[in-house]
């Protein structure tokens, strides 16, 4: 009997363990090609004589490539079938690793372009991996496991990057070296994903069949649900910018907080965040009613946004220590950010009963979200008010908490109106 047939007949717990491990490992490995360079500070770079900080230039170049990939993915991921997904994952990540080798070989400022090429293929990986797990009764649990990969992996791969730097690997060769270490894990994970069976009849009945969406279907969906999608995307722009700033400048923030063993802190601070997010979001699997689950997801995002602002206030008032603040702010951030990458849009598709893919909505939000990252970096670099890393991080925490809460609340109002759901069913 084929592995896919065994998995089709397996208990849901075993299936979640297998599918969750495969999807987690695939995306965990991807981060080894995207984030290790953030562990380096790149001070006194020869050949760099520009006003823009060199590390900020690298981050912007990678994010622009990543964001462009997300824009391409709005069409590509929403229209892609199931064939050749595994080969696409391997090929795209191999291209991104080759760009890291170019980054090490080329001198500044030319190697900044290599970081753009590095980000360009990576933006498609999430949609490819998530397509294996969406549209199932277990999608919340699988989505939570998958999302925990980018919470935990970011800290781990930066720890690996710091370890390689400590071994004498240069700032420029360290990203390619870190990527090479994770390639075997990537291959094993993709083989595991390729063994997963498609959603069964019960999955399709409960969560709506998932099928490619053409341009007309995408435009119709956005017209029907613009009052919810627009504020959600605005909230996601803010959360993405805050998350990427915290992620890319973790070394500088921890140093400003007085911590110098940052290789350990990268991982130690993210493990409780990943576990907390996994338990909170995985509990959604038990909510069978799609509309109730969707509103619950909105509530989780709002609580997460308030936790970002509340923990920052507690730290500033002296009620919370630096490490506790970073953990709680991280927990709030990922409570709010993670649902956008999986269960929020999966449940929206299920509630509206419109045939399509959650990947379309995820990539629509992502293509806008990374514009926020670039904007925040440019504000930090060119602002007439010279914030230090810590003060700027605190200010963005408050702005993210306030406006994300407002945006998600407006979206929830849209889905509390039964006529919206009825209309969507009639149109399906």
The residue behind tokens 């994010």 is: 63
Q: Which two tokens stand for residue 56?
A: 């900020």
CATH assignment of 1-207, among 2.170.190.11, 1.20.1260.10, 2.60.420.10, 1.20.1250.20: 1.20.1250.20
The three-class DSSP label of residue 155 is helix
Per-domain boundaries in the chain:
1-207, 208-427
pLDDT surpasses 90 at 105:
yes
CB burial of 394-425 (b: ≥16 within 10 Å; e: otherwise) equals: bebbeebbebbbebbbbbbebbeeeebbeebe
pLDDT score for 104? 94
Q: Which of 119, 123, 145, 122 is nearest to 132 (CA)?
A: 145
Least confident window among 11-20, 319-328, 412-421: 412-421
Per the CB < 8 A criterion, the answer to whether 122 and 69 are in contact is yes
- Nearest alpha carbon to residue 409 among 291, 299, 329: 299
Higher pLDDT, 341 or 322: 322
DSSP 42: -
In this predicted model, what pLDDT tens digit does every residue of 56-96 receive, in sequence order? 889 889 988 988 888 888 777 777 767 788 999 999 999 99
- Same fold yes or no, 1-207 and 208-427: yes
Write the pLDDT tens digit of every residue in 382-405.
665 555 778 888 988 999 999 999
Residue 33 has pLDDT above 70, yes or no: yes
Averaged pLDDT, 194-220: 77
Better pLDDT: 101 or 327: 101
Residue 308 confidence (pLDDT)? 95
Topology of domain 208-427, CATH:
Growth Hormone; Chain: A; (1.20.1250)
Instruction: Quote the CA–CA distance of 39 and 365 in Å, as a whole number.
Output: 27
* The pLDDT of residue 354 is above 90: no
pLDDT of res. 253: 81
Give the pLDDT confidence of 161-189 residue by residue, as tens digits: 989 998 999 999 999 999 999 999 999 99
Average pLDDT of the chain is 82
Mean pLDDT of 193-209: 78
* Contacts (Cβ under 8 Å, ≥6 apart) of 75: 215
């Amino acid at each position: 009997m084929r592995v896919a047939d065994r998995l089709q007949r397996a208990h849901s717990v075993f299936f979640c363990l297998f599918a969750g491990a495969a999807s987690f490992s695939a995306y965990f490995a991807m981060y080894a090609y995207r984030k290790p360079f953030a562990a380096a500070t790149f001070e006194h770079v020869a050949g760099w004589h520009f006003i823009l900080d060199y590390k900020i230039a690298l981050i912007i170049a990678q994010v622009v490539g990543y964001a462009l990939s997300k824009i391409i993915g709005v069409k590509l991921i929403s229209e892609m079938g199931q064939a050749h997904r595994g080969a696409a994952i391997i090929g795209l990540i191999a291209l991104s690793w080759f760009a890291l080798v170019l980054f090490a070989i080329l001198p500044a400022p030319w190697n900044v372009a290599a970081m753009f090429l590095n980000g360009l293929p990576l933006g498609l990986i999430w949609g490819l991996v998530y397509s294996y797990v969406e549209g199932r009764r277990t999608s919340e649990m699988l989505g939570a496991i998958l999302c925990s990969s980018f919470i935990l992996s970011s800290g781990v791969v930066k720890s690996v990057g710091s370890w390689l730097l400590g071994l004498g690997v240069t700032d420029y060769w360290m990203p390619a070296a870190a990527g090479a270490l994770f390639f075997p894990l990537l291959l094993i994970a993709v083989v595991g994903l390729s063994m997963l069976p498609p959603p069964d009849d019960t999955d399709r009945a409960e969560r709506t069949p998932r099928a490619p969406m053409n341009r007309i279907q995408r435009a119709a969906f956005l017209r029907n649900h613009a009052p919810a999608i627009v504020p959600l995307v605005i909230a996601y722009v803010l959360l993405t910018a805050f998350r990427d700033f915290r992620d890319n400048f973790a070394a500088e923030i921890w140093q400003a907080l007085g911590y110098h063993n940052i290789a350990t802190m990268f991982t130690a601070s993210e493990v409780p965040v990943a576990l907390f997010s996994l338990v909170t979001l995985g509990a959604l699997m038990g909510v069978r009613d799609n509309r109730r689950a969707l509103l619950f997801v909105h509530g989780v995002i709002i609580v997460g946004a308030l936790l970002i602002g509340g923990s920052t206030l507690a730290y500033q008032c002296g009620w919370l220590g630096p490490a506790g603040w970073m953990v709680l702010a991280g927990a709030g951030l990922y409570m709010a950010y993670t649902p956008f990458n999986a269960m929020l849009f999966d449940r929206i598709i299920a509630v509206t009963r419109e045939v399509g893919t959650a990947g379309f909505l995820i990539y629509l939000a992502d293509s806008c979200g990374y514009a926020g990252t670039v904007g925040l970096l440019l504000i930090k670099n060119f602002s007439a008010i010279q914030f230090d890393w810590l003060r700027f991080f605190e200010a963005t925490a408050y702005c993210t908490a306030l406006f994300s809460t407002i945006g998600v609340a407006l979206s929830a109002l849209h889905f509390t109106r039964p006529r919206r759901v009825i209309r969507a069913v009639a149109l399906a």
